Structure 1
C-alpha cells in the first residue's frame, strides 16, 4: 500500500505552505524535508517551482532560501495577463474539485484580495460529471513521483480487469484525468539510462497506454520500483497534443483542410489542430495542414464547423466524416 501521508505532504499543499513561510522569513531545506518527511531534493524541486512562477528566491547560504528583495505576497501586483492566467488556473482547480479547489481558492484570495467570482475574468472549461477519487489521485501522484509500480482494477467497456503498470503522468484533458502508463513488464527495476535501441522501442505507440483515471476502481502501490523512459521520449509523446487522442508517439496522419468564412477567421487566429500551419490564404479561403496522431484530433472540429470547412486530404478521413454524417441522418427522427 502507499505510504500514509497527510494533506500537508501533497505537493500542492506543500508548495502553498512553503510560500506562506517564505513570506515571513528564510526557510531551511533540511527543516522542510524533516517536517514533510520528504527528501531535500524534493524540497529543492518545490523551491524551483516557486521560483519559476515569479516568486524570486535568494539563497544567502547553502540550504537557506528567502524571497528576493521586493517580493512579498502583501505587496504583490499582478498584470492583467498574470491575473487572467491565475483565473484560468483557479477555474481549472474548481473543475477538479475537492481539496485542490479549496487550496487554490485560498491562494487566489491571498494573491488577489478577492474571490474568483469577483474577478473581471472568467474561463469557460468543460466540466466532468465524475471527479477523480481523491484517494486514488494521491496514490497515483505518490507512485509517479517515487517511481513505484502499481496494480489497478480497471472498469473498461469489456468489463473489470487487473493490470500492473508503471505510472508516468497524470494528464488533464477535456474535463477528465487520464493516466499515462507503461505495462510493468516493460519496465524493470532501477537501471542506467536506456541505450539508443531501448529508447527507440520506447517510442513505439504501443509502449504507452492511457487510462481514464475515474474508471480505476482499486489501486495498490507496490514496493517494486521502475525505471522511467528518458525525458525526451515523454516530451516527444506529449508535444503537440491538443487532446488526449494526440498523446502518442506516432503522428503519421497528415491532414489538409480548406476553410472559409467564420471558420477561416477563427482558425487563422487560433491553433486548434495539432502542429497546425497555414499553407495558403486569400480573401476567399484558408488552407491549413496538420500532423495528427488520431482522426479524433480532427473530426470533432470539422463536424463543429461544417459547412465552412472541408477535408482535402487524406481521402480516408473525408470518407470517414461523410460516413458519420450519413449514419446520423439515417437514424429515425
Structure 2
C-alpha cells in the first residue's frame, strides 16, 4: 500500500472508530508506529482535523465527514459478489436489502469501473447449494432466529437429530437461548444455550422442523463472544479403517472433520477417525462399499456387517 492510499485508509478507520492508537494503526497497515506518526502529521497539515490525546490515541473532530469513497473494479466486485452471497443465503428482508445495495453500488460506479467490474464478474459465479424446499425453510429459520437474537428472546424448536436416541426417536423438542449464527461449509449452525442440557449446544438450521419465537427473554453471558468462541472437541471414540488408496481424495473431502490421521502403507490406506459415536460414519462407510474395511472398534465392524446383510436381503 502506497503512502496516499494508506493515509486515506487511516482517515476511513478514524471515521469508523471513535479513537485509535498509533500502535493499532501500525498493526493494521503493517508498518511502523513512526510511519503512522508521519501520516497523522501529513493529514493534519492537509487540513484534516485529527485530535490526539496522550495515552489514548487519535480521533476525528466530531462532525467531520469524508467525501464519498470511490471504488476500483476489484473493490466493486468484492461488494457486488458479497451482495449476491447475502441474497442467496439470508432471508427475504436481507434479499431486498442486498438488491438495493447492489443497485446503489452500481449507480455510483464510473462507467469504466462498472464495465471492468462486470467483465471480472463474468469469470466468477456463486452457486447456491441445497434443494429449493430446504433452502426456503432454512431461510425462514434464519429470519426468525435473527429476530429472536436481536430481541433477546428464547426459541422453542423441534430438532431432528442425525443419530436417534436409545429409544429410536430422532425428534427432540428444546427451548434454547440463541447466541449466534455461523455458516459452516454452506450450512447455517445456531449456537445456543439449551435449557434441557444446561450448556451451549449447536443446532443445524436445516434440521429444525419447527421454530417458534417465545416471549421469554434471556441474557448473553458477558464472557461469551461469538467471534472468539471455539466449541469443545468432545470426539472421544476412535475408528480405524483400511481403504483402497484410489478413494483417498473422496475420504479426505467428505470426512476431513472427523479425520485424525491418514497413512498409505504397503498398498493400502489406513485412516483413523475421532467421532462422538461410530454411527456418525455409518453412511460414509456404506457409501464407500467394498473399497473400505472397518478394523476397529469390533462393535462397529459388526454393525457394518449387519447393514451389509440387510442390503443383500433387499437385492
TM-score interval w.r.t. the shorter chain?
0.5 to 0.7
1:210 aligns with 2:215: no
User: Number of residue pairs matched?
Assistant: 247
1:179 and 2:163 correspond: no
Q: Corresponding residue for 2:122?
A: 118
1:211 Cα offset (Å): 6.1
Residue 235 of structure 1 deviates from its aligned partner by 0.6
Of 196, 219, 244, 1:225 maps to 219
Structure having the higher Rg: 2
Closer/same/farther in 2, CA of residues 73 and 253 from structure 1, 3 Å limit: farther
Q: Which runs of 5+ in 2 are unaligned?
A: 1-8, 19-27, 30-38, 41-49, 52-57, 107-113, 161-168
Which of 306, 309, 332 is matched with 2:292 structurally? Answer: 309
What stretches of structure 1 of length at least 5 have no aligned partner?
A: 1-21, 31-39, 41-50, 53-57, 188-201, 238-248
Structure 1 CA distance, aligned partners of 2:250 and 2:93? 37
CA contact (8 A) 1:143 1:221 kept: no
- The corresponding residue for 2:241 is 257
Aligned to 1:33: none
Alignment match of 1:150 (pick from 150, 154, 168):
154
The alpha-carbon deviation at position 91 of structure 1 amounts to 6.0
Is residue 138–residue 205 contact of structure 2 (8 Å, CA) maintained in 1?
no
Shift of residue 251 of structure 1?
A: 0.6
TM-aligned CA distance change 1:229 to 1:186, over 3 Å: farther
**Larger relative contact order, structure 1 or 2 (CA cutoff 8 Å, min sep 6):** 1
SS at match of 1:166: strand
Which residue number in structure 2 is paired with residue 284 of structure 1? 267
User: Contact 2:148–2:155 (CA<8 Å) still a contact in 1?
Assistant: no
SS at match of 2:133: coil
Distance 1:299 1:264 in 2: 17
Report how far residue 254 of structure 1 moved.
1.0
- The corresponding residue for 2:133 is 129
